[in-house]
Amino acid sequence: MVDADAFVGEAVAEIDAEIGDANAIIALSGGVDSSVAAALAYEAVGDRLTPVYVDTGLMRKGETEAIRETFDYMESLRIVEAGDRFLDRLEGVTDPEEKRKVIGEGFIREFEREARAADADYLVQGTIYPDRIESEGGIKSHHNVGGLPEVIDFEGIVEPVRDLYKDEVREVARALGLEEIVSERMPFPGPGLAVRVIGEVTEEKLAVAREATHVVEDELEAYDPWQALAAVIGKATGVKGDNRVHGWVVAVRSVESRDGMTARAQEIDWETLQRIQSRITGQLDNVSRVVYDVTHKPPATIEYE
């Protein structure tokens, strides 16, 4: 474990030395990694850092509002509303890797425009140690690692948390005084709810995944999972009121993990599972079934796509 206070001092000095008097930009995802990287870089260079949050429409419930509040103190914060553009880009795309690619590329297009407008020479990224390992191993294309540097000709890439594990990043978040919503937040994938929807991404499926993920995160907080989530995995027949419905099947998943590279499905008590089921099917007319995923990683992954 790193000494978080010492790390902050060293990281700020290092960023300051690297960026000097130039301009920098960072993409905020709402996750703890990019939040910590942004806070460190902002401390080093102030408003010469432009933090950009692209609202892809694939985010968790209340995410944009939370970002706005948390980073309100950064005057250079940019929030880009891109939900409609991402839905257009994803129309007809069903293959999981293709989806990631389309989202990654869409993200680059949005970010490219912002980087030009900010006249940014340096790119700051919240890449952490496991991201680098998984990407090098070619397990999945994590979009927060590749892409950006190749398309935009930055003078340099600054990755202040590149050698840290997730729990170390959280320590640093606390040392920086970032609010709990950021420092204690469950990790969320770069491609967002798109990897919690099997097959084509539509507004309807996204709305189900978003609300169900909110219920699951809320109900399972007491279990202190690494990640708890809900995914829309298909359709099944059910009966609601007097009618047979062909509704969505929602899978609930809750895992323990140290770094996301392996994970164990958590044992959840029946009452809690039933409460989750009744909240989800009660709030969402188009959901006919809720199932609990008992698979560890490996052989499964944490996300569904």
Under a CB-based contact definition with an 8 Å cutoff, are residues 255 and 266 in contact?
Answer: yes
Under a CB-based contact definition with an 8 Å cutoff, are residues 227 and 187 in contact?
Answer: yes
Rounded Cα–Cα distance for residues 9 and 15 (Å): 10
Q: Quick check: 140 binds ligand XMP (CB under 6 A)?
A: yes
Site for ligand XMP in 256-285 (CB under 6 A): 260
Residue from the set 143, 170, 196, 210 that interacts with ligand XMP by CB under 6 A: 143
Nearest CA among 190, 265, 262 for reference residue 220: 265
Binding mask 222-251 vs ligand XMP (x if CB under 6 A, - otherwise)? -----x------------------------
Residue from the set 190, 212, 216, 293 that interacts with ligand XMP by CB under 6 A: 190
Rounded to a whole number of angstroms, the minimum distance from the CB of residue 60 to ligand XMP is 12
Q: Where are the beta strands (DSSP E) in 19-68?
A: 24-28, 49-55
Rounded Cα–Cα distance for residues 99 and 195 (Å): 8
Residue span binding ligand XMP (CB under 6 A) among the ranges 2-10, 34-42, 109-117, 185-193: 185-193
| Residue 288, helix vs strand vs coil | strand
The number of residues that bind ligand XMP (CB under 6 A) is 15
Nearer to ligand XMP, 89 or 143 (CB): 143
Rounded to a whole number of angstroms, the minimum distance from the CB of residue 222 to ligand XMP is 20
Binding mask 89-108 vs ligand XMP (x if CB under 6 A, - otherwise)? -----------x--------
* Orientation angle between helical segments 32-45 and 4-19, nearest 10 degrees: 60
State how beta strands 78-81 and 49-55 pair.
Answer: parallel
Residue from the set 30, 191, 225, 247 that interacts with ligand XMP by CB under 6 A: 191
Binding mask 195-224 vs ligand XMP (x if CB under 6 A, - otherwise)? ------------------------------
Question: 207: exposed, middle or buried (C-beta count within 10 Å: 0-12, 13-18, 19+)?
Answer: middle
State the greatest distance between any 2 C-alpha atoms of the chain, in Å, as a whole number: 68
Nearer to ligand XMP, 85 or 297 (CB): 297
- Characterize 124-141 residue by residue with b for buried, 16 or more Cβ atoms within 10 angstroms of its Cβ, and e for exposed: bbbbbbbbeebbeeeebb
Rounded to a whole number of angstroms, the minimum distance from the CB of residue 250 to ligand XMP is 17
Rounded to a whole number of angstroms, the minimum distance from the CB of residue 64 to ligand XMP is 18
Site of interaction with ligand XMP (CB under 6 A): 100, 140, 142-144, 187, 189-191, 227, 260, 297, 301-303
